[in-house]
Each structure stands twice: as C-alpha cells, then as structure tokens.
Chains A and B, each alone.
Chain A
Amino acid sequence: MLRAGRVSPDEPSPEAKQVLQLCRAGPRSVAEIAATLGLPVQVTKIILSDLIDCGALSFVVPTITSGDPASDPQLLEAVLAGLRAYAQGR
C-alpha cells in the first residue's frame, strides 16, 4: 500500500499527478493504482518507484506481509465485526 508524502515532484508527469491524487485520498494498493491508470502493473511500478525515490510517496506496511491472516484469530474477529457492520449498511 502506498500513501502520499508531503513533497511534490518538480515536474510530475500526467500519470504521476494521477497517482498522487489517488493516494492523497488514502493509501492505495499497487493493483488499484495500475487499474485506475489503465497501465500494466510493471509500468505502474516504475512510476511509483520514482515517486517513492523523491519522497512524494511512501509505503504503508500492510500487516499481510508479517504473517498469515488466516491464522490470526484477533484479526479475523476484527474483519468479521467490520463486515457485519458493513452488511447492515452504514
């Protein structure tokens, strides 16, 4: 997941502008950014890595990298509660 930083690149490309706009609304996954831009994931990753290098984007470390969510009962309980509230309609 990526989120916008405080720095803006000097001359962002139209794609980079779009990425920053998207990530300012909240952290976004690479898959979602690529799909929104209509670009292949590999191309999107290059745009993202340039933005990360200059500090305009940073990683939000998702907890999925730190373990198997299917074996974390507390996490599953939290998802269940969230989904139940969501199903009732906000």
Chain B
Amino acid sequence: MPGYAPTPKADEHVPASLAALKIVIAGGFGVGRTTLVSAVSEIDPLTTEEYLTVASAGTDRLTGVEHKARTTVAMDFGRITFRQPPMVLLLFGVPGQERFWFTWQDLITGALGAVVLVDTRRLESCFDAVDYFEQRGLPFVVAVNQFDGSHSYTPQEIRRALDVTEQVPVVLCDARERRSASEVLITLVNHALSRLSQRAHP
C-alpha cells in the first residue's frame, strides 16, 4: 500500500507462537452462562445481548426465569492469560439450543473441551448440547448451576436424568464464584487428560 513503511521485524516481547486454547461453554436460556464466563474471565466479558423478543417467548421456555428481562442471543467471550508457559485460554459462551448449532462448528474446531451448564429447573434445555458434544467426541463436563429456590439434586440423579455415561463428570457449581467456576474448568481439563490416558492404555 503506498505511503506505508516496510513491514517491520517481529516484536521481541511477544513469542512468535502463542498457545491459544478454546473452551466452549454451552447452556440453555437463563442458565448463567454469561455469569460463569464473567466469573472466570480476567477481562470483563464481551457479550452481545439483545432483548428477548415477544416472538421468542413461545420458543424459549421461561419457567423459573420469568423476570429475566434480557437474554444472550449471541456469544460471551472471556480470556485467561497464563504467563509461564505463555498461553491464552479463550472462553466462548454459546446458546445451547439446537437452533444455534450453526454457530458452533467453528468454535469447537480445535477446542480443548466444553462445559454444559445446567439449570435443574429446566433440565431438558441442555439435552441438545449434551447430544451435540457426545456425537462429536469432544470432551465435556456437565456443570449444574445451583440457584436459590431450585430443588437440589445429587450429581447421580442428574447423571441419570441426562443419561450421560459414568465417564462424563457431573459437578455442582456456583457460576458467580470465580473459584467454583474455575473448578469446573479444572474438572474439564482433568477429564480430557484422563480420556487421553484411557485411549493410550485401554
């Protein structure tokens, strides 16, 4: 392009290669996906939110979230940077319903794994996401976000209700707490590791 100086040499501060890893956080409507991403992200999460329209009221079930004025129809984006070794963990929160699957394909390519966030009041809203990750063989964990006023179930009960295998971790969490939310991610990475060692030594 005219008027521009020649291409510079690489900046020595930043390594030429940087490990950037993705974790996908899928959850149905009003399950606390944005909350979880903001709890673990080092930056304020970037979210495209739009008002829930009257048109979607018949499609999205509102039980337990009748007073929720806004819902995320796009994506939440968060980031955690590790200094040593230099790595960036990118968190993508995506809507769980099947009609949003077309937005997932690019995201799960090269993803380390996924978290399916669950609200026990509307368990069926996460069936789609569980099916999706099972079919594609991506390591995933089920994280049950515990809301005040929701009946508390044991992880075993939830596992049976969702019909996921014993290998898939089911954990309870508080999506608002950084420590609790980080534990969910730790469980996911542990699960991905143990799947690898099972494959290596069946």
Cβ-neighbour of A62 out of B18, B113, B138 (below 8 A):
B18
State A80–B21 Cα separation when bound (angstroms).
Answer: 12
A55-B8 in contact (CB<8A): yes
For B164, what are the chain A residues with a Cβ–Cβ distance below 8 Å?
none
Is B176 part of the contact surface with A, judged by Cβ < 8 Å?
no
A10-B8 in contact (CB<8A): no
Question: Which residue of B is nearest A82, CB measured?
Answer: B82
Interface size class of B (residues with CB under 8 A): 35 or more
> A27 with B4: in contact, given A79-B112, A83-B186 (CB under 8 Å)?
no
Interface string of B1-21 (1 = CB under 8 A from A): 101111111110011111111
A35-B46 in contact (CB<8A): yes
User: In the assembled complex, how far is the CB of residue B196 from the closest CB belonging to chain A, in whole angstroms?
Assistant: 5
B5-A76 in contact (CB<8A): no
State A32–B76 Cα separation when bound (angstroms).
Answer: 10
User: In the assembled complex, how far is the CB of residue A51 from the closest CB belonging to chain B, in whole angstroms?
Assistant: 10
Is B88 part of the contact surface with A, judged by Cβ < 8 Å?
yes
> A6 with B14: in contact, given A32-B79, A35-B77 (CB under 8 Å)?
no
Majority DSSP secondary structure for residues of A touching B: helix
Cβ-neighbour of B11 out of A4, A64, A70 (below 8 A):
A4
For B82, what are the chain A residues with a Cβ–Cβ distance below 8 Å?
78-79, 82, 85-86
Is A43 part of the contact surface with B, judged by Cβ < 8 Å?
no
Segment 5-53 of A: residues with Cβ below 8 Å from B: 5-7, 9-10, 26-27, 29, 31-32, 35-36, 50, 53
For A79, what are the chain B residues with a Cβ–Cβ distance below 8 Å?
21, 82, 87, 89, 112, 189
For A26, what are the chain B residues with a Cβ–Cβ distance below 8 Å?
14, 81
Q: Which residues of B contact A (CB under 8 A)?
A: 1, 3-11, 14-22, 40, 46-48, 75, 77, 79-82, 85, 87-90, 92, 110-113, 138-139, 178-179, 182-183, 185-186, 189-190, 192-193, 195-197
12 more CB-based (< 8 A) A-B contacts, given A83-B80, A87-B182 = A26-B14, A26-B81, A53-B1, A60-B15, A60-B17, A64-B21, A65-B110, A68-B110, A70-B111, A76-B192, A80-B186, A82-B82
